[in-house]
Amino acid sequence: MRSGLFNYTSAPELAESLDHDPARVWTTDELLAIAFKHPPVFAPGTKYDYCNTNYALLGLIAEKVEGAPLARIFQDRLFGPLGMKDTLLPASTSNTIPAPYAHGYLYGSSSYALADAPYPADLMAAARAGTLKPNDDTGQNPSYVLAAGGVISTADDLATWMRALVGGKILDADYQRRWLDSPEPEDPSRPLGQKYGYGIAQMTFGPNSLYFHGGEMPGYNSFMGYDPVNDVTLIVWTNLTISLDGQPTANSIMLKMLDRIYMVSPLQQSR
């Protein structure tokens, strides 16, 4: 993402609020107020930085264009037509997950998940010694990520989504071409490294290319990807956001799984 806007989920005040009042209901205006209190981090188009503020703004634009709430738009235009019966964008007042579900855990503050802040040495030592247990963040109200990843789904529905999205069943041919061509290197010094475009990431290793996206919030980490050439779909969900070695858990599992699937391993490029 290259808007240069400040990413509101990186703001310390958001993490502090979630730690002390996890059931709070957030509005998009409140989240954008946090973002716009901070100056832009760079001039538009000059660098890359993942930014949930962009998705919050896109959600408002979609509601303005369609004249309907985002949850209804998603259901009518996407989830319903694809038969994703176990997928929904919950009401902002809801902090429950349809059963059955796994509890989600994170060591320490929400900031370690939201702002990619590294675990301090004393936290890691206490956790490894068994004297610090992870927090159960399952009941946290997800309204603060409404348009930026607040959807509840299942692994089967996400597999359906990724195959439809990458396979050209969502966008028309022109937009699909632009969308698949949009990823650019996140780090210009590594042109063969991970790329990001219009809401999609791309990883290329050898002759293989995987289109994917991840997601995380305190308690959970996820990965969903699809390789349309080899027809490989991979969905990974974990209920510990970050491992004690500081890595997003779903991404770590993803790399190990793809190492088993492909003759040319993505692990060679991730080192």
Domains of the chain, earliest start first: 1-93+144-150 (no CATH), 102-137+154-271 (3.40.710.10)
pLDDT band of residue 269 (cuts 50, 70, 90) is low
pLDDT of 267 strictly over 90: no
- State the average pLDDT over residues 122-127: 96
| Sign, CA torsion 269/50/256/245 | positive
Please say whether the beta carbons of 86 and 159 come within 8 A: no
CA 2 to chain centre: 17
Please say whether the beta carbons of 216 and 115 come within 8 A: no
pLDDT band of residue 270 (cuts 50, 70, 90) is low
CA-based nearest residue to 109, from 91, 82, 84, 132: 132
| Sign, CA torsion 13/18/23/29 | positive
The structure's pTM equals 0.93
Read off the pLDDT of residues 5-27 as tens digits, 9 standing for 90 and up. Answer: 999 999 999 999 999 999 999 99
- State the average pLDDT over residues 205-218: 95
